Amino acid sequence: MNKTILVTGSTDGIGKQTAFELAKLGNKLIIHGRNDIRCRNVTEWMKNESGNDNIEYLAADFFSLSAVRDMAAEIKNRFSSIDVLINNAGVYMNEFVITPDGFESTFAVNHLAPFLLTNLILDVIINSGSSRIINVSSIAHVRAKLEWDNLNAEKSFDPYYAYSLSKLANILFTNKLARLLETSSTTVNSLHPGVISTKLLHTGFNIEGAGLEEGASTPVYLADSDEVAGISGRYYVRSSETPAARICMDKSVQDRMWKLSSEMVEPDTK
């Protein structure tokens, strides 16, 4: 059965390739990007190249939580169900930049935005039946240094520290949400897409990586494969379940990250 799939950050890089591969399989795709023009151009390109006309888009800049809220409201207005949500949008910031909401931008875009969006549209996802939430994390999470008093770079800012912390937060969020949804038919999993040649990789690490097809392979697998039906709270690398850093399994750490994240994005999430 064809699915309705939303891929955030899908006007470029891994997200674009992931959406393209899923569109070629005949699914209904919802593209997301920062601005309307880019979204419209990618949507038209994807329709032409995939032969699938069932592609729409949503534009929202994840640097703004109010834009995330507006996007969630638009989703609820336009779509009765979301079978698969792939939280892929992400940034690597070499400089310390504060968002309009007062958050360090790496943490805001990579963690708070998908945390808020997922919670706001969770009823639409759950109502879809056997739905899936997929969070694109990174192997960088294993090197994260979790300092509760420096989540928002209150004490110091380091680009890699901020990035790795946000990717750890992605997995903590995944595992806590999987626990909350364990009695539902909605699954939640996270993944490392590989070291892939994207703008993010070039910005953060100035190196070349593997092709976009490889980067899209694991999120496509988690979105489409019957092999992972009913499996939740796991971390995948190269389409195989892989142990995440030990801290990701600590329920008290998951709970604390959820509580602090909820407080940051209030009043929308408790």
pLDDT of residue 197: 46
Other C-beta atoms closer than 10 Å to the C-beta of 13 total: 22
Cα 171 to Cα 144: distance, rounded to the nearest angstrom: 12
Is 24 in contact with 213 (CB distance < 8 Å)? no
pLDDT tens across the length of the chain (270 residues): 689 999 999 999 999 999 999 999 999 999 999 999 999 999 999 999 999 999 999 999 999 999 999 999 999 999 999 999 999 999 999 999 999 999 999 999 999 999 999 999 999 999 998 999 999 999 999 999 999 999 999 999 999 999 999 999 999 999 999 999 999 999 999 999 955 445 564 465 554 554 567 789 999 999 999 999 999 999 999 999 999 999 999 999 999 999 999 999 986 554
Given this model, what pLDDT does residue 239 score?
94
Please say if 163 is a catalytic residue.
yes
pLDDT at 266: 86
Confidence (pLDDT) at 196: 45
19: left (phi over 0), alpha (psi -120 to 50) or beta: alpha
Give the per-residue pLDDT at 215: 80
* Spatial distance between the Cα atoms of 94 and 255, rounded to a whole number of angstroms: 29
Calculate ∠ Cα 167-108-81, nearest 5°.
85
Residues 6+ apart with CB under 8 A from 259: none
Q: What does pTM read for this prediction? A: 0.94
Catalytic residue among 57, 92, 161, 163: 163
